[in-house]
Amino acid sequence: MNNSKLPKVKPMLAVPADPFDSNDYLYEIKWDGYRGLVYLSEQTTILSRNLINLTERFPELQNLHKKVIQKPAILDGEIVVLEEGKPSFSKLQSRGKITDALKVNQLSRRFPVSFIAFDVLYKDGESIMNLPLESRKKVLEDIIEPGTHLIVSQYVHGSGIKFYEAVQKVGLEGMMAKRLDSLYMPGKRSPVWKKVRNTHSAEWVIAGWEKGEGHRHLGSLILVGFNQGKWIYMGKVGTGFGKDDENKLLRLMEPLEIDESVFTPPRGEFRSPVWVKPTLICEVTFTEISPEGRLRHPSYKGLRYDKNPQECTIDQ
């Protein structure tokens, strides 16, 4: 990265929340894409949430520095593929995995991305992270010339519940709620920023589990659904269960252990899995099912005893 005057900064993170109203907060769309920090001076450099350089993967974003004044600057935002005004995460994923230059250029024409900026951390080479969010938002609007590949995230004040209902209605991922006076805290997950996801809920059958790391004995549950006489892999869930849930699940799964999985495991998907008979049913919330048939952002809610496993169909 040649933007040598600018330090590497990890993005500020939000905590989960339910919809609410407050005059102390602004509300904006939670864009479904890749979080990105854009470093702008005489060139454009894009770093991921984990500080991986993504610049070469998105050639259509490499001239963003020409659309921003008061450089050197750092913008925080989301890289998205927009389809009829809504993000397509599956099309973005098809681009994010490619590193071959020829394929990257082909996909940049087929599925072009935009950078949706929602914060500014540096301008004129100086940090403005200690300014309140409301002031940073005004700076953001002043220094950007919006266009096809650079969009400024719009927001509303106060009416969080109505805004969330509107977001839900059009099928977007969710909304962000941020205190107007919040300072930017790099790498911190803070309650002054909240994420409210538009979630679905369904019941899936536990077909195995993976071991956890450190103090966690249970890393994730392996989930399946039923379709035309077969078990279909739906994904893994590794959040939502506490220590009591973990102990209960491990106790219930131990007598159900079997040597082989009841479905065809995707290659390279699992690390030392323990397979079990498809008997236990759990409720899981998630944002959507991807085109590949996988649950996105799943979270464990609890066991269900009021269904037969074969009732947990993939189209429930």
Per residue in 21-36, pLDDT tens? 999 999 999 998 899 9
pTM of the model: 0.74
Average pLDDT over the chain, rounded to an integer = 92
Neighbouring C-alpha atoms within 13 Å toward the C-beta of 78:
20
Q: Is 34:92 a contact under the CB 8 Å cutoff?
A: yes
Let me know if 259 is exposed, middle or buried by CB neighbors in 10 A (0-12, 13-18, 19+).
exposed
Interatomic CA distance for residues 67 and 140, integer angstroms: 12
Give bridge partners of residue 108 from the DSSP assignment.
none
Interatomic CA distance for residues 72 and 92, integer angstroms: 28
Domain boundaries, the chain: 13-197, 200-311
Catalytic residues: 30
The confidence band for 3, taking pLDDT boundaries of 50, 70 and 90, is: low
CATH number of 13-197: 3.30.470.30
Amino acid present at 294: R
203-221 tens-digit pLDDT: 999 999 999 887 888 999 9
Q: Is 79:60 a contact under the CB 8 Å cutoff?
A: no
Question: In this structure, which topology does domain 200-311 adopt according to CATH?
Answer: OB fold (Dihydrolipoamide Acetyltransferase, E2P) (2.40.50)
142-161 tens-digit pLDDT: 999 999 999 999 999 989 99
The confidence band for 4, taking pLDDT boundaries of 50, 70 and 90, is: low
Tokens 């040598």 sit at which residue? 4
Q: What angle do CA 168, 173, 178 make, to 5 degrees?
A: 90
Interatomic CA distance for residues 265 and 232, integer angstroms: 9
For residues 53-81, give the mean pLDDT: 95
Tokens 């209902």 sit at which residue? 165
pLDDT of residue 242: 86
**Res 223 pLDDT > 90:** yes
